[in-house]
Chain A
């Protein structure tokens, strides 16, 4: 802990060049993305396991707090991706170190340039959403919904430390043998390779789910995924026809959106399931290994803490991978969609918001 405080204060005091700030930003943005994917993967798994909770989670995602968070998330991902490329470049070509400062500025400029149109698109969704009378969950409700995540993270930390203590007791308090050098070598390469693979996947995911089509469109017709699928299968002319036919979210629930998306087939292959599986595996392992880097950097003085941090990261990554792959192999049936519809109707009723017609819950709310 002292080492973390010392590094934080002295990094602010040391007049390092731009590279130092790139490193700080890389860590901060990485931590931000990891925090979000913890919420996001668990939330999304509810579409399969607890449809009524998923409805609430999506309502929270559409609240102002998460809208601000979504803008920050996109900024974090873009910066982390571009700066990651810079790191990879100078790792591969140490000779070019002279250009690293300029490259760091290019990364900042490219991030800004990318974010301008992206934020405009995203802000359009926000404007459109609030031009109707949308369902807006109060901040207190949204925050309360996130409390279990906080508790879960603390529990993972406690479990990691407890395991570490147990390990220490069993191994007779000896310092664990240093991880074989092969492991660190592997992780170093993995972070770079996975980083390169993640960039197109995550940019595509962000474009489809946050930018071109946003979280506010999730209860409407899902044009983009169907369009892409149709395009892949039958070429451009098929896109329009396909959207008209199947691009309709008939229940108006986010659960149906998720189910339809995963069931979209191209030549018999559920492309979005494969896409999400690849993204899930790479991002979780990359993210939690990054988290391990950050956490162990500041706990090297205590074997108990250091091991505890490693165990915590393993626990976190395992939970997310199990939940994530669990949801990706399941299908969403009409019962789940019905549950989601009822839950959404109740949510509208509780918040005294005008119910969209597509939900068809007038009969129940009329009581």
Chain B
């Protein structure tokens, strides 16, 4: 089938033409099983070598190729043509981060928010007697299972109208990453993280719009995670908030 791509272009290096504009590309012989990323490659390789995009693994793991495809944030490597209604594909950069060129945005503000929530394991207690791992029950592990899946692609954060309006809002992804440690019973810095997220530009900027949850290419229940962090701040505790009855972790054998 034939497909028309409408791509948001921007090149700051061309004098006089450094404003964003739309450009159309036509592709023939497109297979319904082709992924949007492959088709963007075809445009770049066959029609216009200046088309700039970011991708790395191309298999939905590295999180480099988040873009707004037909109005919704997706990973270009995870959208097949058959998932798209019709033969028109509109591609533009994710919103809320400065565009560097074409579909490539500056991720630094996003990673800045990520660093704010201390996304690393904190525990200064002595190592266990056997000198090996800090053990945890499957139920404790289940509490933050969902939020370990984040690949930092920024699809959720840049789908959020609160983030579009205010780039200082830490955004859904940083809260998901904080959730992963806040509800880890082995971690000892939940309080510090909750203090960061209780700031005016923390979780309270979330207006439960629910754009982030369907935007997540990993299926993380983002708005739920944000809601659980809000409850943890309200109640001043991290226990008894995450309901693990819907999460199934295999018992170790």
Q: Does residue A90 face the partner (Cβ distance < 8 Å to B)?
A: yes
* One of B23-31, B114-122, B164-172 at the interface: B164-172
- In the assembled complex, the Cα of A6 lies from the Cα of B198 at a distance in Å of 26
Report the contact-size class of chain A (Cβ under 8 Å from the partner).
35 or more
The smallest C-beta distance from B145 to any residue of chain A, in angstroms, reads: 14
Say yes or no: B165 contacts A90, CB within 8 Å. no
Q: Does residue A237 face the partner (Cβ distance < 8 Å to B)?
A: no
Interface flags for B210-253 (1: CB within 8 Å of A; 0: not) read: 11011000000101111110110110000000010010000000
- In the assembled complex, the Cα of A239 lies from the Cα of B18 at a distance in Å of 76
Determine the chain B residues whose CB is within 8 A of the CB of A13 once the complex forms. Answer: 71
Say yes or no: B199 contacts A181, CB within 8 Å. yes
Selected contact of A17 from candidates B162, B208, B214, B224, CB within 8 Å: B214
Closest chain A residue to B229 by CB distance? A94
- In the assembled complex, the Cα of A249 lies from the Cα of B228 at a distance in Å of 55
Determine the chain A residues whose CB is within 8 A of the CB of B208 once the complex forms. Answer: 19, 23, 87, 90-91, 100
Say yes or no: A300 contacts B166, CB within 8 Å. yes
Determine the chain B residues whose CB is within 8 A of the CB of A4 once the complex forms. Answer: 165
Determine the chain A residues whose CB is within 8 A of the CB of B243 once the complex forms. Answer: 95
- In the assembled complex, the Cα of A16 lies from the Cα of B215 at a distance in Å of 9
Q: Does residue A298 face the partner (Cβ distance < 8 Å to B)?
A: yes
Determine the chain B residues whose CB is within 8 A of the CB of A87 once the complex forms. Answer: 208
The smallest C-beta distance from B180 to any residue of chain A, in angstroms, reads: 15
Say yes or no: A181 contacts B165, CB within 8 Å. no
Report the contact-size class of chain B (Cβ under 8 Å from the partner).
35 or more
* One of A134-142, A152-160, A182-190, A195-203 at the interface: A182-190
- In the assembled complex, the Cα of A6 lies from the Cα of B158 at a distance in Å of 13
Say yes or no: A20 contacts B168, CB within 8 Å. no
Task: Say whether, besides A20-B209, A95-B224, A184-B198, A6 and B204 are in contact (CB < 8 Å).
Answer: no
Of A10, A178, A189, the most chain B CB neighbours within 10 A belong to A10
Q: Does residue B195 face the partner (Cβ distance < 8 Å to A)?
A: yes
Task: Say whether, besides A91-B227, A94-B231, A181-B199, A7 and B221 are in contact (CB < 8 Å).
Answer: no
Closest chain A residue to B246 by CB distance? A95
- In the assembled complex, the Cα of A11 lies from the Cα of B227 at a distance in Å of 22
Selected contact of B200 from candidates A3, A14, A178, A189, CB within 8 Å: A178
Determine the chain B residues whose CB is within 8 A of the CB of A91 once the complex forms. Answer: 208, 227, 230-231
Interface flags for A314-331 (1: CB within 8 Å of B; 0: not) read: 000000000000000000
The smallest C-beta distance from A65 to any residue of chain B, in angstroms, reads: 32
The smallest C-beta distance from B208 to any residue of chain A, in angstroms, reads: 6
Selected contact of A23 from candidates B71, B161, B164, CB within 8 Å: B161
Say yes or no: A6 contacts B230, CB within 8 Å. no
The smallest C-beta distance from A181 to any residue of chain B, in angstroms, reads: 4
Interface flags for A89-111 (1: CB within 8 Å of B; 0: not) read: 01110110100110000000000
